[in-house]
């Protein structure tokens, strides 16, 4: 591979190994922790073998924009022998025919899977017969009625794959949640699912300071939380790399004014 990748991080290698071994896996690590590479490694390795040897991957994302970003990422990796393309409402008719006939890595969304692919599954027989991996990105977002709908579509996909003799491995990517394995199980209706939750990506050291406002006076209670309390810590002299967390625009303005004179930096936080 290219794109400056020397070696995968631990959670990427763990998830990729599980998927390559045919075990369903959900990756639930932090933002910008490289979840994409964790499923791209096995998927691209399989895609290089081509359709005849069961090397296709179906990537499902909740938005067309995310699928487009993923396609750019695949192009940057530049793996030879991989035919990756998006299949959504903006795909021209002639490119849809190319996708059906030649794609080894198809990026789509639940609506296209439900309304375009599965009803015409006979036209996708070659792709589905060779399906090795199904990637469900941002799976934590499939909640409520929409989540129930997607869960049924994925069950339908599994049933159609069985008809064509394939049994794809599911790889799901999620934000950090309390129980990602259970979320994934409910979504795809399969057991067991391995959860990779230990984030092995590098992070800078952080120190968290909790500020308790002082008492205003006997019987007066504590000083109300707000800009005055939030900015008192930086006002007492913090380093240039320290940033107070504030939750409103007025707090940012106040913190900026105080830290400007003390050498600190203000940042907004949720």
pLDDT along the chain (270 residues), means of 10: 71 96 95 91 92 90 95 93 94 93 96 97 97 96 95 98 97 89 94 90 76 66 54 52 62 61 49
φ and ψ of 115, to 5 deg? -95, -25
Predicted confidence at residue 123, as pLDDT, reads: 97
Predicted confidence at residue 33, as pLDDT, reads: 86
Predicted confidence at residue 192, as pLDDT, reads: 93
What range does the domain containing 86 cover? 10-196
DSSP states of 57-106 as a string? EEEE-SSHHHHHHHHHHHHHHT-TT--EEE-STTS-HHHHHHHHHH-SEE
The pair of three-digit structure tokens given for residue 254, joined into one six-digit string: 């106040």
Position 156 in a domain: yes
Position 168 in a domain: yes
DSSP assignment, residue 211?
-
Cα distances from 64 to residues 90, 150, 206, 217, in angstroms, run 9, 16, 35, 57
Same domain, 78 and 124: yes
φ and ψ of 117, to 5 deg? -85, -55
Same domain, 157 and 54: yes
Q: How many domains does the chain have?
A: 2
Predicted confidence at residue 148, as pLDDT, reads: 97
Same domain, 58 and 160: yes
Position 76 in a domain: yes
Return d(Cα 116, Cα 89) in angstroms, integer: 10
Position 250 in a domain: yes
The pair of three-digit structure tokens given for residue 6, joined into one six-digit string: 């020397």
Cβ atoms < 10 Å from Cβ of 103: 25
Position 5 in a domain: no
Return d(Cα 120, Cα 114) in angstroms, integer: 10
Position 1 in a domain: no
Position 204 in a domain: no
Position 210 in a domain: no
Question: How large is the C-alpha radius of gyration of the chain?
Answer: 24
Give the burial string for 166-184 (b: 16+ CB within 10 Å, else e). bebbbbbbbeebeebbebb
Cα distances from 140 to residues 22, 175, 210, in angstroms, run 22, 6, 30
3-state secondary structure of 36: helix
Predicted confidence at residue 241, as pLDDT, reads: 60
């Amino acid at each position: 591979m290219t794109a400056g990748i020397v070696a995968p991080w631990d959670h990427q290698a763990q998830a990729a190994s599980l998927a390559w071994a045919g075990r369903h896996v959900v990756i639930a690590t932090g933002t910008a922790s490289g979840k994409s590479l964790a499923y791209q490694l096995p998927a691209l390795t399989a895609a290089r073998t081509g359709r005849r040897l069961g090397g296709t991957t179906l990537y499902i994302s909740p938005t067309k924009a995310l699928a487009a970003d993923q396609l750019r990422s695949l192009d940057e990796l530049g793996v030879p022998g991989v035919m990756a393309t998006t299949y959504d409402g903006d795909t021209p008719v002639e490119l849809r025919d190319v996708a059906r006939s030649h794609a080894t890595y198809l990026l789509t969304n639940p609506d296209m899977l439900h309304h375009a692919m599965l009803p015409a599954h006979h036209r996708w027989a070659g792709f589905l017969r060779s399906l090795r991996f199904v990637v469900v990105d941002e799976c934590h977002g499939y909640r409520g009625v929409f989540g129930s709908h997607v869960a049924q579509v994925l069950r339908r996909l599994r049933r159609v794959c069985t008809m064509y003799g394939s049994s794809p491995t599911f790889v799901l990517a999620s934000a950090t949640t309390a129980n990602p394995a259970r979320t994934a199980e409910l979504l795809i209706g399969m057991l067991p699912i391995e959860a990779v939750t230990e984030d092995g990506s590098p992070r800078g050291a952080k120190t968290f300071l909790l500020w308790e406002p002082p008492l205003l006076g006997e019987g007066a209670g504590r000083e109300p939380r707000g800009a005055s309390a939030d900015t008192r810590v930086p006002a007492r002299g913090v380093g240039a790399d320290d940033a107070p967390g504030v939750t409103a625009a007025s707090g940012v303005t106040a913190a900026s004014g105080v830290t400007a004179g003390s050498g600190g930096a203000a940042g907004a936080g949720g």
